[in-house]
Amino acid sequence: MDAGDRPARLTVGVLGAGKVGSALGAALAQAGHRVVAASGVSDASRRWLTDRLGLEPTRPDEVVSAAELILLTVPDDALPDLVGGLAATGAALQGKLLVHTSGAYGLSVLEPAAKAGALPLALHPVMTFTGRDDDLNRITGCSFGVTAPEPLRPIAEALVIEMGGEPVWIAEADRALYHAALASAANHMVTLIAESGELLRRIGVEHPGRMLGPLLGAALDNVLRLGLAGLTGPVVRGDAGTVRKHVDALILSAPEAADAYVALARLTADRALAAGLLKPEEAERLLDALGGNIWT
């Protein structure tokens, strides 16, 4: 974006300057906006606030008063109470951009503040933030799930592009499903890989990451390029006997992981069958291997 196309430089406040808020605040600062106030509760938040934004923590009402654009970067479950509290206490919201970064929520959660004159935006970065130094770099090139009132769409788009992201428009009614899709892929992947690494350690593999890395890299590349056509393994091959051996081994060694394996194998079989990658008779044998009284 050329300098002449940029919106006016804004003063920015961050409510909840944790991993996400401090990273986005720093990204807006790099784009030329001025982060003037931020709040944080935990010791880690206060550290990120100081290190990334160069600020000392202030009260939420002071953050709202000082800024033209206010980032609400708190956990999802805390967002409704925060917005409701700002509206109920008469915070200075009139004419200010109020931006939350929740994936699951759209604009409805900001309605109490919008009634008080705030300009609501939902800008969700499709990225995982860990609090490490590379968080800011990860914003560059990542998608943002954006929901905005029609008159504010150009502002939402400009803010995302300025931070180095790519805006993707998500309808209000689709926010929960949108976020479920992302969380299922990213969060559950971490759990599955960590579980796989632990199982390999139990049988004496000293460096499971070295074993898993090339395999998982290839699998990720396959699915992103080919979709379900990139699926490999015993389920898509119809190897019911192998799948049953997996289930039996997990029941004996890691029963807490067996339920997840069975559920995911069934989903994989269903998807492979629907895509024509698995024959009906193979799917039936797989479901038999996964069903029955397998927990005794």
> Average pLDDT, stretch 169-194?
96
32: containing domain: 3-170
Asked whether residue 162 falls in the same domain as residue 221, the answer is: no
pLDDT digits (tens, 9 = 90+) for 82-100: 999 999 999 999 999 999 9
> Average pLDDT, stretch 65-84?
96
Asked whether residue 49 falls in the same domain as residue 193, the answer is: no
Among 19-23, 50-54, 213-217, whose mean pLDDT is lowest? 50-54
Asked whether residue 115 falls in the same domain as residue 190, the answer is: no
Q: Which pLDDT does position 8 carry in this prediction?
A: 64
Pairing of strands 34-39, 69-72: unpaired
User: Is residue 288 pLDDT above 80, yes or no?
Assistant: yes
* Percent of the chain's residues with pLDDT above 90: 83
Asked whether residue 23 falls in the same domain as residue 102, the answer is: yes
User: Is residue 110 pLDDT above 50, yes or no?
Assistant: yes
Count structural domains, the chain.
2
Asked whether residue 75 falls in the same domain as residue 95, the answer is: yes
pLDDT interval class at 5 (50, 70, 90):
very low
User: Is residue 6 pLDDT above 80, yes or no?
Assistant: no
Asked whether residue 25 falls in the same domain as residue 142, the answer is: yes
295 found inside a domain: no
Asked whether residue 23 falls in the same domain as residue 154, the answer is: yes
pLDDT digits (tens, 9 = 90+) for 150-180: 999 999 999 999 999 999 999 999 999 999 9
Last residue of a domain, one of 122, 142, 170: 170
User: Is residue 7 pLDDT above 60, yes or no?
Assistant: no
CATH number of the domain within which 112 lies: 3.40.50.720
Q: Which of 38, 30, 36 is nearest to 6 (CA)?
A: 30
Q: 166: which strand partners? A: 143
Rounded to an integer, what distance in angstroms lies between the CA atom of residue 267 and that of residue 192? 15
CATH number of the domain within which 257 lies: 1.10.1040
Four-point Cα dihedral 153, 160, 107, 83, nearest 10? -130
pTM: 0.87
Mean pLDDT of the chain: 92
Q: Which pLDDT does position 240 carry in this prediction?
A: 95
Structure tokens at 187: 């969060």
Asked whether residue 36 falls in the same domain as residue 157, the answer is: yes
Rounded to an integer, what distance in angstroms lies between the CA atom of residue 165 and that of residue 167? 7
User: Is residue 2 pLDDT above 60, yes or no?
Assistant: no
Which residues touch 52 (CB under 8 Å, ≥6 apart)? 17, 22, 23, 25, 26, 136
Q: Which pLDDT does position 51 carry in this prediction?
A: 82
pLDDT digits (tens, 9 = 90+) for 199-244: 999 999 999 999 999 999 999 999 999 999 999 999 999 999 999 9
